[in-house]
Structure 1
Amino acid sequence: MERFKKGVRHRKNFLSLQQYILMEKISIRDIMSENPVMINKKASVLDAAKEMKSEMVGSIIVVEDGVPIGILTESDILRKIVAEEKDASKVAVEEVMSSPAITVSPDAGIEEAVKIMGKHKIRRLPVVENGKLVGMVTERDLMQVSPLLMDIIEEWAEINRQRLEYKKEKKYMVGKCEECGMLSQRLINVNGRLLCESCAEVVG
C-alpha cells in the first residue's frame, strides 16, 4: 500500500493511505465533546478552579455572552495566581486567562485542527458554530482517532517554525503543497504559498 511520508523530524514514521483517508473524512463534530465547561469572564479564579475540580477538567473556557474569548488552564492558575501569591477569590478570570480564544468549526476536518494546534502550540480548541460555543476538541480526542496524530501535530508545529525561517533563508521546505495537497521535500514559496516544484511551474 502506498504510504505518505510524514517526517520533518520523524522522517522514518509513515501515515498509511487508509489512515490518511480516515482523517480526511472525520470532522471535528464527530469527535468533539459537547457541553464544554465554561465560565463568565467576570467570575473569580477561585470559582473557576472549583468548577474545574468539580468537572474534573484541566481547563475551562471563558465566555462573554456565550462567545468564547479565552481559556483558563491549570497552568495559568499556577503561574499567575499561586506563584504570584495572589488571592484567587479577588482576581477575575479575564485577568489571567489565555486569550484570544483559538477556535475551530465543527465542520472542519481533523487535519485543520491538527494544523491549528501545531501552529499555536496548544492542546485544546473550543468549537464554535455561528458565533456560539458548541463543544471542545482536545489533543486526546484526536489521538483516540489515531495515536499517529500526535506526531502530525508536532510536525505541523515544526513546519510552521520552518516557514518563519524560510523568510530569512532561501531554501526548500518540507511539508504539504498548498495547491495539490501532496507531501513534498522540495516546497517553494510562490507568492506567499508553499508549492511543490510541479505546481510551482504550473502556477508560475
Structure 2
Amino acid sequence: MVKKPAREHADASMTARVIVRDIMNSPAITASPSDSVSDVAKKMKEEGVGSILIMDKDRPLGLVTDYDIVTGAVARDAQASKVKAKDVMQELHTIESEESITEAARLLRKHKIKRLGVVYKNRLVGVISASDVIAVMPALVDVVSEKAAIVRGELGRPASKSSGYCDECGEYSDMLQYVESEEQFICEVCRGEVREEPPSD
C-alpha cells in the first residue's frame, strides 16, 4: 500500500466545499488474498461495485477491479475458480479522508488509476473513484482532458500554456509545463521562474 499524507492546499474554498470523506464509498468491500477470482467477481456483482479491496486481516494488500479479472483471468483463458485474488490484484494507492477532491483527482491522474483507498487515522475506511470525483466536480474533467491532449500533442500548442493544478505543490496555475522526465505538470513557481516583485513606494 502506498500511503499519501495529507497536505494543505491554497484552494481553500474547494477544500471547504467537498473533501474526500464526503463522497467516498464506505464501508469498503473486501476479500481475502486467497479468495478465488470467481468468488471476488460474485461479490462484486452482489454488492454492485467494480472493485474489491484485498485485505489480510486489517492490513490492506491491494485492489482487484473488474478490469483486473478480465485481463488476469478471462483474457488468459484461465479458470477463475483457480486463480487467486492475490495473483491479479494491483497496487493500492491511498489518500487521507480530509484531503480535497482536487488532490484525489491529481493522484488518480498521476498514478493513471481509477480508484484510491481512503485512510482515516491509519485505518482504511473506504474507496473513492474517478467517477465519484467527476460526478461532484465535472470541471475537473476539462483540466485532466486538456493536459492529456497536450501530452499527446493533439492541441498543437506548448504545454507551457496549460492550465490546471501543479503536480508539485497543488496550486492552480495558467502556466503549467509538462516535464517529461518526471511525467508531471509543474507550475512556474516550482520551476523557479517567478521573481520577487520589488516593494512598491
- TM-score, normalised via structure 1 length: 0.70
In structure 2, the residue matched to 1:135 is: 126
User: Alignment length, in residue pairs?
Assistant: 173
- Asked if 1:24 corresponds to 2:15, the answer is yes
CA distance in 2, matches of 1:21, 1:132: 25
State the Cα RMSD in Å. Answer: 3.2
Which is helix-richer, 1 or 2? Answer: 1
* Equivalent residue letter for 1:184: D
Q: 1:124 aligns with which of 115, 119, 129?
A: 115
Structure 1, unaligned stretches of length 5 or more?
Answer: 1-19, 163-170
Q: 1:108 aligns with which of 74, 96, 99?
A: 99
CA distance in 2, matches of 1:179, 1:74: 33
Instruction: Identify if the C-alpha distance between structure 1 residues 180 and 37 changes in structure 2 by more than 3 Å, giving closer, same or farther.
Output: closer
Percent identity between the two aligned chains: 32
Output one character per residue of 1:122-156: Cα deviation in whole Å (capped at 9) or x when no partner: 22111122332101111222123222222234356
In structure 2, the residue matched to 1:195 is: 188
Structure 2, unaligned stretches of length 5 or more?
Answer: 1-10, 153-158, 197-201
Q: 2:173 aligns with which of 183, 189, 193?
A: 183
Instruction: Identify if the C-alpha distance between structure 1 residues 154 and 186 changes in structure 2 by more than 3 Å, giving closer, same or farther.
Output: closer
- TM-score, normalised via structure 2 length: 0.71
CA distance in 1, matches of 2:170, 2:126: 31
CA distance in 2, matches of 1:84, 1:49: 16
Output one character per residue of 1:63-94: Cα deviation in whole Å (capped at 9) or x when no partner: 22323221111111111211211111111101
Give the 3-state SS of the residue equivalent to 2:194 in structure 1. helix
